[in-house]
C-alpha cells in the first residue's frame, strides 16, 4: 500500500517508519549523534555539493528527524517538510528564504503576540518590512501588495481570538500576485482539523510544541511545502538563481518542487542553526501517533465547557467558533473538519484584578502560555503572550484585560467545570452552584 492512499489516522502511525530496519524495531530509533562518517572523500564531496542525499551534520539532518519530517509530509499530502527547534524559528526561516532587505510581506492583523514582535522588530532590523492588514478581508491584504511583496502571511485560526482566515480567497490574492501564501496552521493540529493546502495555501508553518507533540514535553516548529508554487516566476532569485553558498547551484532547477524546503534547510538551517534534537523529534513522532484521538476528545470537551460558561453569571462573553454567533462560525465550518476548535476565549465579569484572582485560584487547569497540551491550560493574554503589544495592537488583536484563552486538555470536562466553579467562588466572581 502507498502511504498517500491511506487515511489520516493510519498515516499518523505508519508514515516515516522504516519497515526494513535490520533490527526489526517497531519504533523509530533515536540517533543521538552530531555527525556522520563518510564512506569516502568523493561521497563527502557529493553530500556537500548537494548532488547526493544523506547525512552530514545533525544541524542539517538527522535520521530520527527525517522520519518525523516524512510523517508530517504524509499527513499534509505535501512535497516536503523541515523540522525546526520552535515555531518562531520556523516562521523566521521561511520568511527569510523568501524576502530580503528592501522587500516586504503582508500579514493578517490577527496574530500570535510572539509573531507580532518578530514581524515588527526583528524582521524590520533585517530590512524586511511587514505590512499588517487593517482587517481580515482579502481586499485588506490585496491593497498592501506591491512589486516588492514576497509573501502573504495569515493564521488559519488567530491566536487568541480564534478568528478564522478565509484561506481560499486570500490564496486567490496571492496567486494573482504570483507570491506564496504562508499559513500558520498551529490550530489546525497537524492537518487533522484544517489542511490549508486543500484551499490554495503554498506553505504551512506550525508550532509543533502544541498539538503535534500534545504532551508539553518538547519544543518544535515545522515548515511544510505543498509543492505547487512556481518558484521560477522571476521574483525569487534566491531559489531560482545562482546560489552564492553552493557555487552557483540553482535550487529550482536542481530540486524542482522540493526547492523551497531545500533552500530553508541548506541556507536557513545551516546558517541560523535552529535544529531540533533527535530526542525532541522522537517525542514529536510519539505525539503524532495519537494526534487524531487526542484532538477529537479536546474538541468535544471544548464544546462542553463553552456551553457551560455561556450565560454564566461570572462570564461577560464566550467566544467560541462552534457557536453560530461567532464572526468566524461559517469559515470554521468550511475550513475546520472534525469539529470547530480545541481552544476558545471568555471575557470574565469584573476587572483585571479579579481575573488574575480567578486564574491563580485554579487547581486543575494550568496557568501557562501553552495550547494543545494534555492538561487544560488557561492563559491571560494581556499579562503574558500579548503583554509587549501596544494598546492599538492589543485592540487589533482582540485582547481585553479580562480575556482568557482556554485550551482544553484530556481530562474529563466535568472536572474542569468544577475547577472553574471553585475558582469563581474564590475570586469573588458571582457564579451558580457547583456542578
Structurally, how many domains does the chain consist of? 2
CA atoms of 128 and 1, how far apart (whole Å): 45
Both 80 and 195 in one domain: the answer is yes
Both 263 and 302 in one domain: the answer is no
The domain boundary residue, chosen from 287, 303, 324: 287
CA atoms of 336 and 35, how far apart (whole Å): 41
Q: What is the pLDDT of residue 383?
A: 77
Both 235 and 112 in one domain: the answer is yes
Both 414 and 316 in one domain: the answer is yes
Q: Of residues 209 and 429, which shows the higher confidence score?
A: 209
Both 263 and 359 in one domain: the answer is no
The domain boundary residue, chosen from 264, 287, 310: 287
Residue for grid cell 477529537 = 296
Contact (CB, 8 A) for 94 and 300:
no
Both 206 and 303 in one domain: the answer is no
CA atoms of 323 and 306, how far apart (whole Å): 9
Question: Is residue 434 situated within a structural domain?
Answer: no
Tell me the average pLDDT across 330-354. 93
Question: Is residue 350 situated within a structural domain?
Answer: yes
Among candidates 107, 64, 74, 110, which has minimal Cα distance to 276? 64
Q: What is the pLDDT of residue 26?
A: 87
CA atoms of 64 and 68, how far apart (whole Å): 7
Cβ burial 289-304 (10 Å sphere, 16+ → b, else e): ebbbebbebbbebbbe
Among candidates 298, 243, 282, 232, which has minimal Cα distance to 265? 243
CATH code of the domain containing 220: 3.40.640.10
Q: What is the pLDDT of residue 273?
A: 96
Question: Is residue 315 situated within a structural domain?
Answer: yes
The domain of 154 spans 3-287
Tell me the average pLDDT across 244-253. 93
Q: Please state the three-class secondary structure of 139-175 as a single string.
A: HHHHCCCCCCEEEEEEECECCCCCCECCHHHHHHHHH
CATH code of the domain containing 414: 3.90.1150.10
Instruction: Report pLDDT digits (tens) over 172-194.
Output: 999 999 999 999 999 999 999 99
Q: Strands of 203-207's sheet, edge to edge?
A: 80-84, 221-225, 203-207, 181-184, 149-155, 104-107, 129-132
Q: Of residues 198 and 400, which shows the higher confidence score?
A: 198
Question: Is residue 231 situated within a structural domain?
Answer: yes
In sequence order, the β-bridge partners of residue 196 are none
* C-alpha cell of residue 345: 476565549
Tell me the average pLDDT across 46-60. 94
Tell which phi-psi region holds residue 133, choosing left (phi > 0), alpha (psi between -120 and 50) or beta: beta
pLDDT band at 435 (very low <50, low <70, confident <90, very high): very low
The whole-chain average pLDDT of the chain stands at 93
Both 47 and 7 in one domain: the answer is yes
pLDDT band at 432 (very low <50, low <70, confident <90, very high): very low
In sequence order, the β-bridge partners of residue 104 are 129, 149
- pTM score: 0.93
Question: Is residue 217 situated within a structural domain?
Answer: yes
Tell me the average pLDDT across 244-259. 94
Q: What is the pLDDT of residue 431?
A: 45
Both 281 and 313 in one domain: the answer is no
Residues comprising the chain, all counted: 435
Q: What is the pLDDT of residue 388?
A: 64
Question: Is residue 435 situated within a structural domain?
Answer: no
Cβ burial 244-255 (10 Å sphere, 16+ → b, else e): eebeebbbbeeb
Instruction: Report pLDDT digits (tens) over 104-120.
Output: 999 999 898 889 999 99
Q: What is the pLDDT of residue 188?
A: 96
On the question of pLDDT at 316 being above 70, the answer is yes
On the question of pLDDT at 434 being above 50, the answer is no
Both 274 and 299 in one domain: the answer is no
Question: Is residue 433 situated within a structural domain?
Answer: no
Tell me the average pLDDT across 406-412. 97
Tell me the average pLDDT across 13-39. 90
In sequence order, the β-bridge partners of residue 149 are 104
Q: What is the pLDDT of residue 399?
A: 77
* C-alpha cell of residue 132: 499588517
Instruction: Report pLDDT digits (tens) over 66-93.
Output: 999 999 999 999 999 999 999 999 999 9
Contact (CB, 8 A) for 153 and 182:
yes
Contact (CB, 8 A) for 134 and 299:
no
Both 307 and 213 in one domain: the answer is no
Question: Is residue 385 situated within a structural domain?
Answer: yes
The domain boundary residue, chosen from 269, 287, 305: 287
> Helical H runs in 177-290?
251-255, 259-263, 270-272, 278-289
Both 150 and 108 in one domain: the answer is yes
Using the Cα atoms of residue 114, residue 119, residue 121 and residue 126 in order, give the sign of their dihedral: positive
Both 252 and 380 in one domain: the answer is no
Amino acid at each position: 500500500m502507498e502511504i498517500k492512499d491511506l487515511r489520516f489516522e493510519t498515516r499518523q502511525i505508519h508514515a516515516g517508519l522504516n519497515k526494513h530496519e535490520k533490527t526489526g524495531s517497531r519504533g523509530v530509533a533515536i540517533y543521538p549523534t552530531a555527525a556522520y562518517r563518510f564512506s569516502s572523500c568523493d561521497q563527502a564531496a557529493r553530500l556537500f555539493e548537494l548532488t547526493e542525499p544523506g547525512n552530514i551534520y545533525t544541524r542539517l539532518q538527522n535520521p530520527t528527524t527525517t522520519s518525523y519530517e516524512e510523517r508530517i509530509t504524509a499527513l499534509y499530502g505535501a512535497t516536503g517538510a523541515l523540522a525546526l527547534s520552535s515555531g518562531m524559528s520556523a516562521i523566521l526561516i521561511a520568511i527569510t528564504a523568501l524576502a530580503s532587505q528592501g522587500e516586504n510581506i503582508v500579514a493578517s492583523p490577527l496574530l500570535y503576540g510572539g509573531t507580532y514582535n518578530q514581524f515588527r522588530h526583528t524582521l524590520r532590523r533585517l530590512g524586511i518590512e511587514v505590512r499588517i492588514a487593517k482587517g481580515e478581508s482579502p481586499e485588506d491584504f490585496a491593497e498592501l501588495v506591491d512589486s516588492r511583496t514576497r509573501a502573504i502571511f495569515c493564521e488559519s485560526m488567530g491566536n487568541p481570538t480564534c478568528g478564522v482566515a478565509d484561506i481560499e480567497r486570500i490564496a486567490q490574492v496571492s496567486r494573482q500576485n504570483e507570491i506564496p501564501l504562508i499559513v500558520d496552521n498551529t490550530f489546525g493540529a497537524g492537518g487533522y482539523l484544517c489542511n490549508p493546502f486543500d484551499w490554495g495555501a503554498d506553505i504551512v508553518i506550525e508550532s509543533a510544541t502544541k498539538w503535534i507533540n500534545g504532551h508539553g514535553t518538547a519544543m518544535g516548529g515545522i515548515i511544510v511545502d505543498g509543492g505547487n508554487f512556481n518558484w521560477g516566476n522571476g521574483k525569487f532569485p534566491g531559489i531560482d538563481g545562482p546560489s552564492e553558498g553552493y557555487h552557483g547551484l540553482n535550487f529550482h532547477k536542481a530540486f524542482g518542487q522540493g526547492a523551497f524546503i531545500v533552500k530553508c534547510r541548506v541556507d536557513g538551517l545551516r546558517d541560523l542553526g535552529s535544529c531540533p534534537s533527535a530526542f525532541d523529534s522522537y517525542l514529536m513522532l510519539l505525539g503524532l501517533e495519537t494526534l487524531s484521538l487526542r484532538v477529537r476528545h479536546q474538541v468535544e470537551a471544548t464544546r462542553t465547557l463553552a456551553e457551560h460558561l455561556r450565560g454564566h453569571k461570572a462570564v461577560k462573553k464566550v467566544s467560541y467558533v462552534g457557536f453560530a454567533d461567532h464572526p468566524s462560525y461559517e469559515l470554521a465550518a468550511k475550513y475546520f473538519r472534525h469539529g470547530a476548535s480545541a481552544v476558545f476565549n471568555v471575557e470574565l465579569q469584573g476587572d483585571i484584578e479579579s481575573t488574575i484572582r480567578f486564574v491563580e485560584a485554579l487547581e486543575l487547569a494550568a496557568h501557562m502560555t501553552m495550547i494543545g497540551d494534555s492538561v487544560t491550560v488557561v492563559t491571560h493574554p494581556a499579562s503574558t503572550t500579548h503583554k509587549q503589544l501596544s494598546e492599538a495592537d492589543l485592540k487589533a488583536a482582540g485582547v481585553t484585560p479580562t480575556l482568557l484563552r482556554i485550551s482544553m486538555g484530556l481530562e474529563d470536562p466535568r472536572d474542569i467545570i468544577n475547577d472553574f466553579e471553585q475558582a469563581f467562588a474564590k475570586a469573588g466572581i458571582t457564579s451558580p452552584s457547583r456542578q
